[in-house]
Structure 1
Amino acid sequence: MQIEVGSRLPVRKAEPTGFVWQKAEIISTRTAADGSQSYYVHFVDFNKRLDEWVGFDRLDTSKIEPPKPPATLDKSKTGPGSGRGSASAAQRKRRVEEDPVQLTPNKLTALQHANSVGPDLAASRADTPLGTDGELRSSEIDPATPLPISFGAAGLAEAGTASSTAPGTPGVEGANNLSAGGSMRRGPPMTGSIWSSDDVVTRMKNIDLIEMGRFQVRPWYFSPYPEELTKGPILYICEFCLKYQPTKTAFLRHKDKCGLRHPPGNEIYRKDTLSVFEIDGRKHRNYAQNLCLLAKLFLDHKTLYYDTDPFLFYIMCEIDDRGSHLVGYFSKVCAQTSADCLFQFVSEPSSNLSLSLVPIPSAGKESSEDYNVACILTLPQYQRKGYGRLLIEFSYELSKIEAKVGSPEKPLSDLGLLSYRSYWSFAILETLRNYQGSMAIADLSAYTCIKREDVLSTLQHLNLIKYYKGQYVIVIPVEMAEAHDKQAAKLKVRIDDQCIIWQPIDWVKRGKW
């Protein structure tokens, strides 16, 4: 049976409990030497990292949907307000009605809180300042105005329901409502596949398996390794210098010659078995290029940049008797480089290009000076061990040494956004728990080095800002405070700022660009 590319049909998808039927789209087909057909499928409404090749026996052809014909533009209906990106009033109204309700003061409905809201708070709600769309704006709270902090005070703890998600485990809905500017509002889902590509080549994984040290890992996305190296069943990557080889024989030959047992650059942190190296993309171009190619296998929302010179890379490693093993990294643009000077390319990969990962530009513009992370990744074999959190914490510790606030470049991947929301929630709650009295948003931002917009959006996400007797207050429910204390007790590894040996780079000595 001939199945066309673009068709949709149920496909048996592997789950921990077994196989389930899931609707998928056929992206490509291939024929093996024995004549058998296999199909590259994308599961609808799932991240691209779950795409895979499947055999005909996993397809339910009885429910196949033929590919839809390309949409044609009716020129008679074009004009102002029509075309791509426009929407009718009915569509806009429908989107507004479908928007998830944020628990801002005017939306604490009487139906939900008639029995729990005190008379003083109910009377004050009518005077609550609101944005044009009924949502709390960052401009409505003066960052310099101290906000009273209450831990489940009578009459305040009941003012609004606490976030259903415990601190440190942010919900996806809240994550998807974080815009590039940090405010809470509805937007496109911030998933790794937010920037879809029309190029069928880049939509498909070009490497089936990589071997790196003791681990064999299945890549999640396309990465522009040289095409001749991607035709084998396994791509071998040296865990110390990150050089890639197409065959086991070539890799073993390289392994005997490779003298590295840790990343190049300066070791700026070490405690117990954890180490961090700072690598200058200008001095160590080959390592930086190899790192970016490796990272692209697991990052879909980043693109590749011509030159690694403007970037610094911070490599986190596990140390044992065999050497320092890469577990993750983050990069950032050097302070003297403007984000407006960065440009992208879409071309065939070439071995003489130095590559670096940068975010795909978002709709809004932000100063590059506010960014303390351009790209961040924990390798899959080391995930669920707390390393992502440590990388984020380390980036903010560097910001504290630089005495400036920071924020990651947008857009974040789905996993990255959850990790950042978890860290922001923990850091803010930890600061509030250890502080007595009132604290302004600006003070909270300066103390944690988290950008003001990120602080405010996190407070809104946790539903901690209330409007009480004519003023905004921060209310931390007792249950949330107790959950935070339990989470803090479980954290076995934290970044020790006393072990950081680092000073901001003197850009004059580094030389002219």
Structure 2
Amino acid sequence: GNKRKGRESLPPVAKKQGKKEAVASAAVNVQSNDDKSSSESKSESGGNADEHPLQVGHYLVVKYKDGSNRLAKIVESSAGSSPRSTQYYIHYPDFNRRMDEWIGAPRIVAYPSEANILGANREAQENAAKKLKASDSKGSLADLQPAVEVNPKLQSLLGNPTPTRSGPAGRTTKSRSNSVASVAPQAPVMAISTVADMEHDEHEGMDEESLLEHEEVTKVKNIKFVKLGKYIMECWYFSPFPKEYYPNGFAECLFFCEFSFRFFATKEELVRYQKKPNLPRHPPGNEIYRDSEVSMFELDGAVEKVYCQNLCYFAKLFLDHKTLYWDVDPFLFYVLCTRDERGFHPVGYFSKEKYSDMGYNLACILTFPCVQRVGYGRFLMAFSYELSKKEEKAGSPEKPLSDLGAVGYKSYWAHTILKLLRDYPGQIISIMDITRITSILPDDVQATLQMLQLLHYTGGADADND
């Protein structure tokens, strides 16, 4: 399990206070430190913290893409021709890191002298929530929503947005859609909608040191856009491309050949490469499935090493904790393509170990952002289970799942199991029967039935608790 500094037990005094008192105590500490935070932000580095260039680590309130004001933290800065032209790489504490971006001074609504108070307030509430979660005392989610007084002027900076589902330490389970109303960090509400949201953690299995090292190395996106075929996609995360492709620490765009997945720094290089005679217009490997719309290619990582490595480089731009880059030999890759008169165009892929001791039928899955919400993700999941059926064994994706992966798999499992229950001819069916028919692991079947509230105890020690 995850062992983080924020999850230690409450100190003895806090334990005696109980949940509500502990949160209230944290809130009072924030209130009493508001003036201190403001004065410290002004005096740090011997000058006014609101003067450009702003210091890394300070908070800002910035104008977001949808026009709302949001709290953000400065992660990195890049000097310009003048102090005010400095660019700042910011992280939104209420959003996943995929939403991090570079901004300039025109988008800043409130500077550190004011925003640092909101940031300190939020951090104190997050720490209180972690301690409450680690404590043994019982309580409701309402205990995590104390009313803390904040200067009305500061509170008005962020308006009255609707909270999202916050995950641990600012890494949230919110989707990438910008249509959801903004969150309200100025009123320090730990807006956790369900217990399941609290329990899901895509960083499970990483200790504190490994997590901090990962986030330090990958904290700034090195590629802003990638062009694949007719699509230009905004990148979500850092990917360890060779340094010559971003010599200044950042590249505006990389150009991928959709047939070979070779990548280039300029469009001219890509065009020259694609003019080569007899360039294959499909992925290497074997085409193992075809219908009227799509085809699936199976690639052996030990045979098609360059293609698979380049595919991993590309996938890392959209997957936070993907660690497979060079060691592709033990894996099989399944690339899903659409077809037209120009050739085969990849829209997603998944990989799996050739021999998995844990029974995993999928190691990594990605539907390319340009074609999401079409159904390709569910098709890839279903295909992985069809392979398990061919092997006559139950399978499951590697855990922990990412935030978007968890949403996709819960939906797929629910759809598959409900369809089976609807069409099943018998009156009684067991979890093992469902596993035998669908190849979904019994633990995943049980978790899905509990999520759907279809699983009830009818006897045994837990019957009285049902």
Superposition deviation, residue 9 in structure 1:
2.2
How many positions carry a matched residue from both structures? 343
User: Shift of residue 196 of structure 1?
Assistant: 4.3
SS at match of 2:95: coil
Cα gap change, 1:188 to 1:327, in 2 (>3 Å)? closer
| One-letter amino acid of the structure 2 residue matched with residue 92 of structure 1 | S
Measured after TM superposition, the shift of residue 32 of structure 1 is 2.7
Q: Mean Cα displacement is larger for which, 58-67 or 445-454?
A: 58-67
Q: Residue 30 of structure 1 corresponds to which residue in structure 2?
A: 78
SS of corresponding position for 2:440: coil
What are the equivalent positions in structure 2 for 1:5-24 lying under 5 Å apart?
5-15=56-66, 19-24=67-72
**Aligned pair 1:52/2:68, yes or no?**
no
Q: For residue 139 of structure 2, what is the aligned residue in structure 1?
A: 97
Say which of 388, 392, 409 aligns to 1:403: 392
CA spacing shift, 1:332–1:283, aligned 2, 3 Å:
same
Q: Residues 240 and 33 of structure 1: is their aligned pair in 2 closer, same or farther, counting only changes over 3 Å?
A: farther
Return the offset for 1:469: 7.7
The TM-score with structure 1 as length reference comes to 0.62
| Cα 1:446–1:310 shift into 2, 3 Å | same
- Give secondary structure in 2 for the equivalent of 1:97: coil
User: How far, CA to CA, are the matches of 2:194 and 2:231 in structure 1?
Assistant: 34
Question: Structure 2 unaligned runs (5+)?
Answer: 1-50, 121-129, 143-191
Aligned to 1:255: 274
Identify the residue that residue 449 of structure 1 maps to in structure 2.
439
CA–CA distance in 2 between the matches of 1:471 and 1:434? Answer: 32
Gaps of 5+ in 1: 69-86, 101-170, 178-185, 339-366, 474-513
The answer to whether the 8 Å contact 1:175/1:418 transfers is no
Which of 268, 288, 296 is residue 308 of structure 2 equivalent to? Answer: 288
Shift of 1:302: 1.6
**2-side partners of 1:295 and 1:383: how far apart?**
14
Q: 2:197 aligned with 1:176, yes or no? A: yes
Which whole-Å CA distance do the structure 2 matches of 1:90 and 1:392 have between them? 33
2:233 is equivalent to residue 244 of structure 1:
no
Displacement of 1:64 after TM fit?
3.0
Q: Which amino acid letter does the alignment assign opposite residue 325 of structure 1?
A: H
Higher RCO (C-alpha 8 Å, min separation 6): 1
SS class of match (2:135): helix
Query: 1:114-513 to 2 correspondence within 5 Å?
Result: 173=194, 176=197, 186=199, 188=201, 196-198=211-213, 200-230=216-246, 231-257=250-276, 259-335=279-355, 367-368=357-358, 370-435=359-424, 436-468=426-458
Alpha-carbon separation, structure 2, partners of 1:431 and 1:458: 13
What's the CA shift for 1:263?
Answer: 0.5
Structure 2 SS opposite 1:388:
helix
Residues of 1 paired with 2:195 and 2:140: CA distance?
15
Q: Is the 8 A contact 2:299 2:334 kept in 1?
A: yes
Change (3 A) 1:189 1:371: closer
Deviation at 1:99, TM superposition (A): 6.7
Instruction: Write the distance in 1 (CA, Å) between the matches of 2:329 and 2:132.
Output: 48
Query: Structure 1, residues 137-175: CA drift from partner, whole Å, max 9, x if none?
Result: xxxxxxxxxxxxxxxxxxxxxxxxxxxxxxxxxx98475
Aligned sequence identity (%) = 44
Query: Would the aligned equivalents of 2:313 and 2:325 in 1 still touch at CA under 8 Å?
Result: no
CA contact (8 A) 1:38 1:56 kept: yes
Equivalent position SS for 2:385: helix
Alpha carbons of structure 1 residues 88 and 251: separation in structure 2 relative to 1, 3 Å: closer
1:259-315 per-position Cα deviation (integer Å, ceiling 9, x unaligned): 021100000000002100000000000000000000000000221354211000000
Contact 2:221-2:236 within 8 A present in 1 as well? yes
CA contact (8 A) 1:50 1:220 kept: yes
State the secondary structure of the residue aligned to 1:288.
helix
Q: Which residue of the partner structure matches residue 483 of structure 1?
A: none
Pairwise CA distance, 1:176: 3.4
Give CA deviations for 1:52-90 in whole Å, capped at 9, x if unaligned: 00111222115231898xxxxxxxxxxxxxxxxxx9899
- Distance, in Å, in 2 between the alignment partners of 1:224 and 1:306 is 11
Structure 1 residue matching 2:227: 3-state secondary structure: strand
Letter in 2 for 1:263: P
Match of 2:158 in 1: none
- When residues 396 and 253 of structure 1 are mapped into structure 2, their CA distance, relative to the original with a 3 A threshold, is same
- TM-score of the pair, normalised by structure 2: 0.68
Mapped pair 1:41 → 2:90: yes
Deviations 1:179-231 (A, max 9, x none): xxxxxxx354669x998444534111100111111011110000011122125
Confirm or deny: 8 A CA contact 1:237 1:245 kept in the other structure. yes
In structure 2, how many angstroms separate the alpha carbons of the residues matched to 1:175 and 1:311?
A: 32
**How many angstroms apart in 1 are the aligned matches of 2:332 and 2:97?**
29
Whether the aligned pair in 2 keeps the contact of 1:10 and 1:23 (CA below 8 Å) is yes
Q: CA separation of 1:89/1:323 partners in 2, compared to 1, >3 Å: closer, same or farther? A: closer
Higher helix share: 2
